[in-house]
Chains A and B, each alone.
Chain A
Amino acid sequence: MSDLRELYQQVILDHYKRPRNFKKLDGATRQAEGNNPLCGDQITVYLHMDGDLIRDISFEGAGCAISQSAASLMTTVLKGKTKAEAGALFEKFHEMVTGGENAVDPMELGKLAVFCGVKEFPVRVKCASLPWHTMRAALEGQNGSVSTE
């Protein structure tokens, strides 16, 4: 049960049930779509860029609690960040959920630290990182679709 509660933390369940910034973004300058064919997770990330600044961000999609809450939390932390800051955050997030070599202090990730339990569930890493891959595709202007497979 401890593993379970670590994975499905209240914050995650809350963002799954009441996703923030869940909408099509009026005035979006970029967007990208992401799919996890294995389980059918599907996400569209919308960005309103002002030069290198993420002025606004939103998403739409359907899928498991991990992918949808990861998308929701991501939108709340990226608003107002620069492209470089978003990229750096993705690196750290990815290190944390994959349990990578460069151990990340979850404190550096702020509220994203709720996803630290994911590293115990290798098959769910793709769920947590899908929104981030999709966001990066949108940032880099690859309008189109990314896939975790």
Chain B
Amino acid sequence: MSTHARPRIGEQHCQECLVSIGPERIREEFPTLWTKVHGKPLVYLDNAATTQKPRSVIEALTRYYTEENSNVHRGVHLLSQVATQAYESGRTKVRQFVNAAHDREIIFTRGTTEGINLVAQTYGRRALRAGDEVLISAMEHHSNIVPWQMICEEKGAALKVIPMNDAGELLLEEYRRLLTDRTKLVAVTHVSNALGTVNPIQDVIALAHGRGIPVLVDGAQAVSHMPVDVRELDCDFYAFSGHKLFGPTGIGILYGKAYLLEAMPPYQGGGDMISAVTFEKTIYNTLPYKFEAGTPHIAGVIGLAAAIEYVERVGRNQIAAYEADLLAYGTEILTAVPGLRLIGTARDKAGVLSFVLDGIHAHDVGTILDLEGVAVRAGHHCAMPVMKRFGLPATARASLAFYNTRADLDALAKGLHKVREVFA
């Protein structure tokens, strides 16, 4: 694999349409997309699991480790100052990316999962009493179910679930009924990883706020597909993962409204989260450091900042428009495959084509597609209650990013015909 010295997209501040940049130019930037699997060119359609990384992210990581490596918020020496500067400007970049009001509302975590656990273990532990309720939806990822189950069990509180219809759309009337004086928090996904549903999250938030209930949004599957503005949404917490946004693994973000974060106890204790320690008493640091105990994932933040820059150069509105077209095309050609049933047919969808083939298990579909070079996920997608809701053991799932093309979806359809041939 050679490295090229082609101009990068967007270096000329390109805000024009993604399609005019050309998918080929974009694919150039993602070295993993050039690999072959089983002797076939990789067709990567597992972006909901994790996304590939553009060269600018890989280079940012290399640069940090080769030229700037040092700890943050500690040294008086130059490199430590450089690292601290890079780390904190990463926070500013994230703040701008989600349009939060203050840098201190951006907490770095390991990922979406840790962000949700943080809120459950701090906000949840303070707010919940026996008999209280936490409200989630029927399409949550396990990481937005289990942390609530754990704290509810500890507190004698109950977990309630907003149901969905057969298309995979939340039932807002039911939701309205489930909001009561006992509800202490609503935690709902922005986009479903198993079905692709884009939830009417603004309505979900407004209805909860009407009763003074805060809302956590799981944004893991949203940020790579569409613009997200936490102030416009008015969500109280918003959690997402760097690795699903073309950045490194091990870095995530929890946005929280400052007044809520201020009132919450720390999550973990250690270095960085304190301002003074004696054996009798510790004075906690201010936001956001109160929630960032220990040496953080400095390289992760730097890589994530590079990923965000990349996404902004491509343009989030452009990404959304391009992917909408791709999803419509994928829906059309998959629907034409005999015996194929799409799971998740909400009117508003992003990035995900989940499906089953008559009489053929998803795992077999996944194996045969893999041999054709087509990478999809087969299984329950960490959303076993969703599978149960649809009465399925598993689905196969193709999930999109802006570097995918119609040709990728054609390869998927061709692969599915091969699957049917094998089982004919």
Alpha-carbon distance between A17 and B361 when the two chains are bound, in angstroms = 12
In the complex, which residues of chain B have a beta carbon less than 8 angstroms from the beta carbon of A17? 359
Are B423 and A39 in contact, with the CB atoms below 8 A? no
Select which of A1, A4, A39 is within 8 A of B363 by beta carbon. A39
Select which of A3, A38, A42, A127 is within 8 A of B379 by beta carbon. A38
A63 in the interface (beta carbon within 8 A):
yes
In the complex, which residues of chain B have a beta carbon less than 8 angstroms from the beta carbon of A123? 367
In the complex, which residues of chain A have a beta carbon less than 8 angstroms from the beta carbon of B363? 39, 41, 63-64, 66, 124, 127
Are B423 and A40 in contact, with the CB atoms below 8 A? no
B130 in the interface (beta carbon within 8 A):
no
A124 touching B423 in the complex, CB below 8 Å, given contacts A39-B361, A39-B362, A42-B393: no
B394 in the interface (beta carbon within 8 A):
yes
Are A13 and B422 in contact, with the CB atoms below 8 A? yes
B347 in the interface (beta carbon within 8 A):
no
A13 touching B423 in the complex, CB below 8 Å, given contacts A40-B393, A42-B393, A63-B393: yes
B368 in the interface (beta carbon within 8 A):
yes
A39 touching B393 in the complex, CB below 8 Å, given contacts A3-B38, A13-B422: yes
In the complex, which residues of chain B have a beta carbon less than 8 angstroms from the beta carbon of A124? 363, 367
Alpha-carbon distance between A127 and B361 when the two chains are bound, in angstroms = 12
Are B361 and A65 in contact, with the CB atoms below 8 A? yes
Alpha-carbon distance between A42 and B361 when the two chains are bound, in angstroms = 12
Are B364 and A62 in contact, with the CB atoms below 8 A? no
B386 in the interface (beta carbon within 8 A):
no
Alpha-carbon distance between A137 and B379 when the two chains are bound, in angstroms = 25
B378 in the interface (beta carbon within 8 A):
yes
Number of A residues with CB within 8 Å of any CB on chain B: 21
Question: Which residues of B in the span 348-404 have a Cβ within 8 Å of any Cβ on A?
Answer: 359-364, 367-368, 371, 378-380, 387, 393-394
Are A62 and B393 in contact, with the CB atoms below 8 A? yes
Are A39 and B379 in contact, with the CB atoms below 8 A? yes
Alpha-carbon distance between A3 and B359 when the two chains are bound, in angstroms = 22
Alpha-carbon distance between A38 and B363 when the two chains are bound, in angstroms = 10
Alpha-carbon distance between A4 and B380 when the two chains are bound, in angstroms = 24
Interface string of B277-309 (1 = CB under 8 A from A): 000000000000000000000000000000000
Select which of A1, A42, A65 is within 8 A of B364 by beta carbon. A65
Closest to B365 in A: A64
Question: Which residues of A in the span 27-65 have a Cβ within 8 Å of any Cβ on B?
Answer: 38-42, 62-65
In the complex, which residues of chain B have a beta carbon less than 8 angstroms from the beta carbon of A42? 393
Closest to B38 in A: A3
Select which of B367, B387, B422 is within 8 A of A40 by beta carbon. B387
> What distance in Å separates the Cβ of A19 from its nearest Cβ neighbour in chain B?
13
Closest to B371 in A: A4
Are B394 and A39 in contact, with the CB atoms below 8 A? yes
> What distance in Å separates the Cβ of B366 from its nearest Cβ neighbour in chain A?
9
Alpha-carbon distance between A83 and B364 when the two chains are bound, in angstroms = 32
Select which of B359, B394, B422 is within 8 A of A4 by beta carbon. B422
A121 touching B367 in the complex, CB below 8 Å, given contacts A40-B393, A42-B393: yes
In the complex, which residues of chain A have a beta carbon less than 8 angstroms from the beta carbon of B393? 39-42, 62-63
A96 in the interface (beta carbon within 8 A):
no
A8 in the interface (beta carbon within 8 A):
yes
Closest to A36 in B: B363
> What distance in Å separates the Cβ of A147 from its nearest Cβ neighbour in chain B?
14
A112 in the interface (beta carbon within 8 A):
no
In the complex, which residues of chain B have a beta carbon less than 8 angstroms from the beta carbon of A13? 422-423
Select which of B359, B371, B378, B422 is within 8 A of A39 by beta carbon. B378
Which of the listed residues B367, B378, B380 has the most CB atoms from chain A within 10 Å of its own CB? B367
Are A7 and B367 in contact, with the CB atoms below 8 A? yes
Are B361 and A63 in contact, with the CB atoms below 8 A? yes
In the complex, which residues of chain A have a beta carbon less than 8 angstroms from the beta carbon of B423? 8, 13, 65
Are A4 and B364 in contact, with the CB atoms below 8 A? no
Are A3 and B364 in contact, with the CB atoms below 8 A? no
Told that A4-B368, A39-B380, A65-B360 touch, could you supply 10 new A-B pairs with CB distance under 8 A? A1-B371, A4-B371, A4-B422, A8-B364, A39-B378, A40-B393, A65-B361, A65-B364, A123-B367, A127-B363
- The 7 sampled A-B contact pairs (Cβ below 8 Å) are A1-B371, A4-B368, A8-B368, A39-B378, A40-B394, A41-B393, A65-B364
Q: Which 5 A-B pairs have the closest CB atoms?
A: A40-B393, A64-B361, A64-B363, A39-B363, A40-B394
Q: Chain A: residues with CB nearer than 8 A to chain B?
A: 1, 3-4, 7-8, 13, 17, 38-42, 62-66, 121, 123-124, 127
